[in-house]
């Protein structure tokens, strides 16, 4: 059961990463194609918050909570860093690389800068509530 929970955590981790990376690609594509949904306020706020959290963790030297949870479950499952299920192995291969921490901090910061530039240059559109729309606020 713990191995399954570790694999699910790794899958959630990859989903988070894909949301940030593919989300930014869709925002830029939507900007050029005139898609309305890529300006949706909640989507854009969640997106910038997601990469912002990664940058804060990197600059603070804090380990990603998803990594800690996955490692905890793998330990409870009796697995080591090299022994995992198929899903765990391949998901891990996609998101874990051997490089100094400063490289990741730099990459996360640069990516955040790209997201922030797009956020400012192509801002989200937050829909007003009916009360605000009627009163002209």
List average pLDDT for each run of 10 residues in the chain, which is 137 residues long.
Answer: 90 92 96 95 96 93 87 85 50 69 87 95 81 45
- Rounded alpha-carbon distances, angstroms, from residue 111 to 42, 65, 69: 20, 20, 25
pTM for the whole structure: 0.78
pLDDT at residue 88, rounded to an integer? 59
pLDDT at residue 130, rounded to an integer? 56
pLDDT at residue 133, rounded to an integer? 45
pLDDT at residue 12, rounded to an integer? 93
**CA–CA gap between residue 22 and residue 33 (Å, rounded):** 16
């Amino acid at each position: 059961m713990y191995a399954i929970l570790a694999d699910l955590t790794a899958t959630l981790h990859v989903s988070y990463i894909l949301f940030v990376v593919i989300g930014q690609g869709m925002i830029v594509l939507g900007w050029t194609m005139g898609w309305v949904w890529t300006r949706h306020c909640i989507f854009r706020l969640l997106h910038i918050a997601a990469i912002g959290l990664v940058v804060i963790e990197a600059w603070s030297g804090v380990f990603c909570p998803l990594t800690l949870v996955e490692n905890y479950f793998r330990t409870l499952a009796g697995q080591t860093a090299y022994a995992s299920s198929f899903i765990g192995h391949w998901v891990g291969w996609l998101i874990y690389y051997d490089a100094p921490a400063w490289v990741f901090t730099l990459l996360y910061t640069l990516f955040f800068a790209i997201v922030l530039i797009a956020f400012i240059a192509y801002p989200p559109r937050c829909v007003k509530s009916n009360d605000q729309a009627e009163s002209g606020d």
